[in-house]
Amino acid sequence: MTLAQPTTQLPITNYQSPFLSACKREPVDVTPVWFMRQAGRYMPEYRAIREKYSLLEICYHPELAAEVTLQPVRALGVDAAILFADILLPAIPLGVGLEFAKGEGPVLQNPVRTMDDVKNLRPVNPDSDLGYVMDAIRLLRGTLRHGSAQASNGVPLIGFCGAPFTVASYLIEGGSSREFLKTKTMMYSAPEVWHALMERLSVVLSDYLVAQIRAGVQAVQVFDSWVGALSPSDYEAFVLPYSQKVLTAAKNEGVPVIHFGTNTTTLLPLMKRAGGDVIGLDWRIPLDDGWKLLGDDVAVQGNLDPAVLFAPRDEIKKRVHDILRRAAGKPGHIFNLGHGILQNTPVDNVKIVVDLVHEYMER
């Protein structure tokens, strides 16, 4: 298959990226803003591509992945691009039989439930087994015409991976879950299997994230989307050491690291201990309260409820300004949602948020 290269070259501007500066808790002229799941099915440009290609086909073809990554940068004026990929891509070379069933999300034909299942997981070399991801990164860096990670011109590129707990939950459950019953049952009833799986995943995900950084991403985010299902004691015993391993591996490569989870108010101090230059806050805790809980020695990202993007403009403005007021202009705030953009979100409302954040002046 021959695919066209992305053609839009974004302009070079001689300024320090506000996103990268905020990650390092440096002062910025305007609060940087980007959105989780900013490239995706709410955008008509993306839906047009999905009419021809499946999600995995887009990921497998660097030109398509790069094009989809660039779509919201062009349309919205966000301050960072996040690579279009899926957190379960590393599961494919592991040999669990990942498929994306239409309307049902990920389905794993070979879930991991026993020690033999863990031992049967295949070795993963990110540069060869996931080389298409690295190719997309290199293509994007060329298209975005970035400089160095320390003094980038233009729009920085964020790479990412799933956190060990979230990836493990998919492998154990065989797909998405609300109760995580099989996952917790393994933790409590077969801890030796759990720890063996988490150790294996922490290595695979660390290698994957490091490969992305060396391919050219300028910041990374570790998505622990479902870790809010755990109590603090379970997080500390069963998750923290493995998340810490992944976050530390990325940090050692010298780029900013964002640590994200949802429904994690009770876990925030432990997440900070696990690592990350930036900690994600969802909408369940006011931003100033969450930041106070974490301390001023870490940056924060968040924390608008994605459902607010369906509200009238005046309500959106009120909610956006409230978050910015709570941030109080302190260095280290990156505006984002508390989770990803929802399907059918009006694109105009997403653009409204970008403009409101960029236009806001502390009163």
Tell me the CA distances in angstroms from 159 to 81, 116, 215, 316, one per residue in order.
9, 32, 10, 28
Tokens read off for 298: 């870490």
- Kindly list the catalytic residues: 37, 41, 50, 86, 170
Tokens read off for 109: 């034909």
d(CA 138, CA 142): 6
* Longest Cα–Cα distance in the chain: 60
Three-state DSSP class for 38?
coil
Sketch the domain layout of the chain as residue ranges. 18-359
DSSP states along 144-198: HT---SSS--S--EEEEEE-HHHHHHHHHHTB--SS-HHHHHHHHH-HHHHHHHH
Q: 18-359 is classed in which CATH architecture?
A: Alpha-Beta Barrel (3.20)
Three-state DSSP class for 279?
strand
Contacts of 355 (CB under 8 A, 6+ apart): 77
Q: How many CB atoms lie within 10 A of CB 266?
A: 14
The residue to which tokens 């999300």 are assigned: 105
Bond preceding residue 303 cis, omega within 30 of 0: yes
pLDDT tens per residue, the chain (363 residues)?
Answer: 444 444 444 433 345 899 999 999 999 999 999 999 999 999 999 999 999 999 999 999 999 999 999 999 999 999 999 999 999 999 999 999 999 877 668 999 999 999 999 999 999 999 999 999 999 999 999 887 643 333 334 799 999 999 999 999 999 999 999 899 999 999 999 999 999 999 999 999 999 999 999 999 999 999 999 999 999 999 999 999 999 999 999 999 999 999 999 999 999 999 999 999 999 999 999 999 999 999 999 999 999 999 999 999 999 999 999 999 999 999 999 999 999 999 999 999 999 999 999 999 654
Chain centroid to Cα 212, Å, comes to 13
Yes or no: say if 253 and 214 are a contact pair by the CB < 8 Å rule. yes
d(CA 138, CA 141): 5
